[in-house]
Amino acid sequence: MYLKITMQARNKKEIRLPLQYNYYLQGLIYKLLEGDLARFLHEKGFQLEKRQFKMFCFSQLIGNYKIALGKKEIIFENQVVLYISSPMEIFLRQLSNSFLLNQNIFIGDQCLEVQNICIEKSPEIEDKVVVQTLSPVTAYSTLYKAEGSKYTCYFHPKDKEFQELITANLCKKYQAFYGQEVEDSFFIIHPLGKIRQHVVNYKGIFIKGYSGKFLLCGNKQLITMALESGIGSKNSQGFGCVQIAKSDGKKDFHII
């Protein structure tokens, strides 16, 4: 399921944010959740072995914008749209109510008001769909150098490790959420057309991700999990949010 929130600047003609604003959106989501659920997701999440999954993801802000490189800011025209997706209906309904009840929504120091909000159910899908990223997808492994120090290796969508990590991640999310292993783990993700690389600074950590269109094939349960919980790692930090691509090839969003 998706939550689509349309917001506009309150008493301002534009919305000015730091270029790296993922942390503000994540903070907004946790702030708007009610106590027990917010505490569960923030402190525990859905656990499998040593892994914790928050089971939600969110898009970058969607709207017309310009970049002020000198100030390291992104400046949106009056209105923006935010998508939040999750397999947890209670999570999306709590957020929806909170967005509606709060007259002032703060993203950083920018005060916004909600114009429209709607919950969109995930569409019926086949075993093959084309998706467009709403936030970059990241897949990585922690490796060791010869002298023993650790480093993070990020993989390109054309690397076989990217495919392997995405599939394993979806299977683990499914098991963590539903409490049982997925019966059929067949899943393929294949990049289509031009893929853009992005480097996002999240709380001082630089994360490499990729945006563009991807073909998803395989088990419908895993495809649905990808649509609702996100693809790849760090979904609750603003990575891996995807949506079924528009059939006319047009898009109504931007990824910086």
Q: Residue 131: in which H helix or E strand, if any? A: strand 128-133
DSSP structure class, residue 246: P
Residue 42 appears among annotated catalytic residues: yes
CATH number of the domain at 30, please. Answer: 3.30.70.1890
What average pLDDT does this structure show over 47-60?
Answer: 94
Q: Is residue 249 part of a domain?
A: no
Active-site residue among 21, 23, 24, 30? 30
For residues 31 and 104, the answer to whether their CB atoms sit within 8 Å is no
The Cα 98–Cα 122 span in angstroms is 22
**pLDDT tens digits along 125-173:** 889 999 999 999 999 998 888 787 888 999 999 999 999 999 999 999 9
**Confidence (pTM):** 0.92
Within this chain, do residues 223 and 185 fall inside the same structural domain, yes or no? Answer: yes
Asked if residue 134 is part of any domain, the answer here is yes
Torsion sign across C-alpha atoms 27, 119, 56, 237:
negative
103: exposed, middle or buried (Cβ count in 10 Å: 0-12, 13-18, 19+): exposed
Same domain? For 113 and 190 the reply is no
Catalytic residue of the set 42, 156, 178, 190: 42
- Token readout for 247 is 């059939």
Residues 81 and 149 in one domain: no
Reading the block at residue 67, the tokens are: 């970049």
At 195, which CATH number?
Answer: 3.30.70.1900
39 and 92 assigned to the same domain:
yes
The number of domains in the chain is 2
Question: Of 216, 233, 232, whose CA–CA distance to 224 is shortest?
Answer: 216
The reply to whether 6 and 114 lie within a common domain is yes
250 in a structural domain: no
The pLDDT > 90 percentage for the chain reads: 77
101 and 139 in one domain? no
Identify the domain containing residue 163 by its residue range: 128-244
